[in-house]
Amino acid sequence: MAFNYLNLVGNAELVKQLNYAMIYRLIVQQSPISRIQLAEVSHLAPASITKITRQLLKHKLIKEIDVQQSTGGRPAVSIVARTAPFQAIAIQFSRSRITIGLYDLGGELLASEYYPLNDFTQRLAENYLLSVIELFLQENSKKIKKLVAISVVMPGLIDSESGVVRYTPHVKVDNWPLVDVLSVKFGVPAFIGNDVQSLALAENYFGSTQDVDDSILIRVHRGVGSGVVINQQLFQNHNQSTGEVGHIQVELLGDRCHCGNFGCLENTVVNKAIEQRARQLLEQNYPSKLTLENCNIKEISRLANEGDELAVHLIQQAGHNLGRAIAILVNLFNPQKIVIAGEITVAEKVLFPILNSVLNSQALKTFRDNLKIGRSVLDDTSAIGAFALVQQAMFNGSLLMTLLSEEKE
C-alpha cells in the first residue's frame, strides 16, 4: 500500500483541531480549571495541555486568574475563558423581520435591533440584509473590539456545510450562497443554519438542556419545527433536513396540508390554526372572555391559564395532537429532556399536563420514566440561535483554529 503523506498531514491537523477544541470547551464549561485538571479530564499529556494553553493565552482567548488552594506541592493556577474581547454578529432572518444581535463569545447580548422585512427576491433580500448589517455595525462600532464571525438562521432548508440556502418560505431563492456573500463582504467567517435546529443547539449551550446529553426542542409558531441534540451534538443528516415534525399525521380526517398530506400536526397546533378555531367557536356563541377582536394566541394562552373554558379546550386539543407527535419522537430518540418553545407555552398550566398525559399513554414506559418536559427558557424571537452556531464553531475548532492562525495584534 502506497504511503499517502497528504492524508497523514490532514489527519494530524484534524487531531490538532479536535484537541484544541476539546480543551477550549472544557475551559469554557468548567472554569475555573487548572492544567492538571484539564489533563485528567481530557486524557491528554501534560505537555500537550501546556502547549495548547500557551497558544490560547497568546491569542488572549483564555487567562490565568487566582491560584487554587494548594493540597501539597506547587499550587495550581486557575484558567478561565476570555470572552469579552471578541464579538460576533448573530441574525435571525424570519418571515416578518430581521433581528440582529451583537454578542460576546460568552453569549452576553451587547446590542440588539429589529428591521422590518417584506417579500423580496433573492437579490433584493441580499442587498437589504447587507445594508442593515452595515448600519448595525456603524451604530455599535464602539462596542466592537474584535469581530470574529457573522451567523444567520432562517426557516427552511439550509445547507450549513456548503453555506447555501436551498429553500426558505419567505424569499424565493436559487441556491443562495449566503456564507460566501457575508464572508467576502465583512471579512470574517460566516455561518448559516435552520432557525429551529439552531435554537435547539442554543438551548443546549445556554438554556435548560445544558445538564443533559440528549434533548429535543420543538417550536410552535407559524409552523412546527424541531431540533434533536444527541451527545451534545446537533443531529443532522446528509442534507440537514431532519426535524420535520410538523408533517406527522395526527388527524386521519384532517384538512389538507400544503405538503399534500391530510391532518398534519402543523395544521392543528400552529398559532393561526388555534386562532382560527377560536373564532369559529366564538361565532357559534361559545361562552368565553375571548372576543373576536382579541382572538390571538397570547390572549388564548393567558385565558387558558385562568381557566376560561373555551381557551382551555383549545389548548388541550392542540396539546393532545402535539403530545402524539412528541411521543413518536420519544420512542425514536429516547431523549432525556423535551423543551417546547413558542407563544402556546404561556398556557403552561394547561399545556404541560395534557402533554404528560399523552406521553404516559403513548411513549415507551422505560423512555418516559426518565424524561423531563418543560418550557424553553430562551427568547425564541431573538438571535440566540444564530449565536449558537458561532459557539459551535468554537467548540468544534473550526473558528477557534482560524483565530489561532491570526497574528497576535
Dump pLDDT digits (tens) for 318-365.
999 999 999 999 999 999 999 999 999 999 999 999 999 999 999 999
Judged against a pLDDT cut of 50, whether residue 409 lies above it is answered with no
Q: How confident is the model at residue 51 (pLDDT cuts 50, 70, 90)?
A: very high
The distance in angstroms from the start CA to the end CA of the chain is: 46
- Residues 325 and 311: their CA atoms lie apart, in Å, by 22
pLDDT at 10: 58
Whether the bond into 32 is cis, omega within 30 of 0:
yes
| Confidence at 1, pLDDT banded by 50, 70, 90 | very low
What integer is the mean pLDDT of 282-307? Answer: 93
- Taken in order of first residue, the domains within the chain and their CATH numbers are 5-81 (1.10.10.10), 87-200+383-405 (3.30.420.40), 210-375 (3.30.420.40)
CA distance 200 to 207: 9
Mean pLDDT is lowest, of 92-96, 257-261, 379-383, for: 257-261
> Would you place residue 2 in the very low, low, confident or very high pLDDT band (cuts 50, 70, 90)?
very low
What is the pLDDT averaged over residues 113-121? 89
Cell numbers describing residue 358: 399523552
Over residues 276-290, the mean pLDDT reads 92
Mean pLDDT (the chain, rounded): 90
Q: Give me the pLDDT at residue 269, please.
A: 85
Range from 71-75, 295-299, 305-309 carrying the lowest mean pLDDT: 71-75
Average pLDDT over residues 296-308: 95
**The one-letter amino acid at 48:** S
Residue 95: band (very low, low, confident or very high) from pLDDT cuts 50, 70, 90: confident
How far, in Å, CA of 77 to CA of 342, rounded? 44
Task: Kindly indicate the confidence band of residue 184, based on its pLDDT and cuts at 50, 70 and 90.
Answer: very high
Reduced to 3 states (helix: H, G, I; strand: E, B; else coil), residue 234 is strand
Average pLDDT over residues 76-80: 85
pLDDT at 126 over 80: yes
Mean pLDDT value of segment 102-128? 93
Tell me what pLDDT residue 169 has: 86
More confident residue, 264 or 64: 64
Rg (CA), the chain: 24
Residue 44 has pLDDT above 60, yes or no: yes
Report pLDDT for 12. 84
How many whole angstroms separate alpha carbon 386 and alpha carbon 342?
17
Q: Among residues of the chain, what percentage have pLDDT more than 90? A: 77
What's the whole-model pTM score? 0.90
